[in-house]
């Protein structure tokens, strides 16, 4: 049975992935490094800020400098805050799908973005109050594809009165992702994943249980029925 839905944030609810790519390029340039668009969307998508900078160091044959990493994270935070002050556009169909999901299920966020960024942008879209749980980079020591952020979301959802009895299981949660590594993280947490080809081609997302081009294609009732039939088998 499907009992909860957990959304990734960037590239799923808000149209932010290209913006984050450009900021990653600017961070890299401060160390005289370059990141192409292909490299970013292949290797960095789904990583949190710490994971992005660690990967930059490693891909350029450098040992991670923790102090410099923190300085770059702080720079990116300030730059991003200035850009998103007035909000960001939603992905097509995201607002309607979130509202439809929240009408039937408890919903959560599991994202490598910071809580303050997510709360601000959800507030601008009028969606903040619909989410029972936010699991963010603030909660995690490890970035996707590690399942940590999804496990935090699962634990917090399981504390909701409506999901305590019987205890919520990972297999009763649907994760919604746009990145191949995000799909891996959700599946490592024991969840089924629906992938949207907002940021990567369909073929790169085939390891997800369901793959769609956009929200308007999703048959949520049909997916819920698949959950029921799988558990009944």
- Looking up residue 96, the CATH number of its domain turns out to be 3.40.50.1000
Please identify, among 40, 60, 83, the residue that sits at the C-terminal boundary of a domain: 83
Instruction: Assess whether pLDDT exceeds 90 at residue 233.
Output: no
Q: Count how many residues are written for the chain.
A: 233
CB atoms within 10 A of CB 214: 14
Distance of CA 51 to CAs 61, 79, 112, 183, Å?
15, 18, 9, 17
Cβ neighbours of residue 88 closer than 8 Å, sequence gap 6 or more: 14, 15, 16, 19, 121, 124
77 and 132 together in one domain: no
Please identify, among 32, 48, 83, the residue that sits at the C-terminal boundary of a domain: 83
Cβ neighbours of residue 9 closer than 8 Å, sequence gap 6 or more: 16, 109, 111, 113, 118, 121
What is the spatial distance between Cα 43 and Cα 40, in angstroms, rounded to a whole number? 5
What is the spatial distance between Cα 175 and Cα 33, in angstroms, rounded to a whole number? 34
Residue 228 — pLDDT band, cuts 50, 70, 90? Answer: confident
Task: Name the phi and psi angles at 88, rounded to 5.
Answer: -130, 155
What is the spatial distance between Cα 222 and Cα 227, in angstroms, rounded to a whole number? 9
Q: Provide the domain count of the chain.
A: 2
Residue pLDDT, tens place only, 36-48 = 999 999 999 999 9
- How much is the average pLDDT of 168-176? 98
| DSSP label at residue 105 | S
Per-residue model confidence (pLDDT) at position 231? 59
Cβ neighbours of residue 63 closer than 8 Å, sequence gap 6 or more: 57
131 and 184 together in one domain: yes
Instruction: Assess whether pLDDT exceeds 80 at residue 100.
Output: yes
Q: With beta carbons less than 8 A apart as the criterion, state whether 129 and 27 touch.
A: no
Torsion angle in degrees (nearest 10) through CA of 55, 53, 139, 134 = -90
Please identify, among 41, 64, 83, the residue that sits at the C-terminal boundary of a domain: 83
Among 2, 232, 217, smallest CA distance to 104 is for 2
- How much is the average pLDDT of 69-87? 96
Mean pLDDT for the chain overall:
96
Domain limits at 152?
4-14+89-232
Distance of CA 181 to CAs 33, 47, 199, 206, Å?
23, 8, 12, 12
């Amino acid at each position: 049975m499907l009992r909860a839905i957990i959304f990734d944030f960037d590239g799923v609810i808000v149209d932010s992935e290209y913006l984050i790519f450009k900021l990653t390029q600017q961070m890299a340039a401060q160390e005289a490094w370059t990141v192409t668009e292909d490299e970013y969307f292949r290797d960095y998508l789904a990583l949190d800020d710490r994971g992005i900078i660690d990967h930059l160091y490693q891909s350029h044959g450098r040992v991670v400098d923790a102090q410099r990493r923190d300085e770059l994270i702080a720079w990116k935070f300030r730059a991003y805050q200035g850009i998103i002050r007035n909000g960001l556009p939603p992905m097509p169909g995201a607002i309607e799908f979130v509202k439809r999901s929240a009408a039937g299920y408890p919903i959560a966020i599991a994202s490598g973005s910071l809580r303050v960024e997510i709360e601000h942008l959800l507030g601008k879209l009028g969606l903040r109050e619909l989410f029972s749980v936010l699991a963010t980079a603030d909660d995690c020591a490890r970035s996707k594809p590690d399942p940590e952020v999804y496990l935090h979301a699962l634990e917090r959802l399981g504390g909701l009165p409506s999901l305590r009895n019987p205890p919520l299981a990972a297999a009763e949660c649907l994760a919604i992702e746009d990145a191949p590594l995000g799909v891996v993280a959700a599946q490592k947490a024991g969840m089924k994943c629906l992938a949207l080809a907002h940021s990567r081609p369909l073929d790169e997302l085939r390891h997800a249980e369901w793959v769609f081009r956009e929200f308007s294609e999703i048959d949520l009732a049909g997916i819920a029925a698949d959950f029921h039939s799988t558990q009944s088998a």
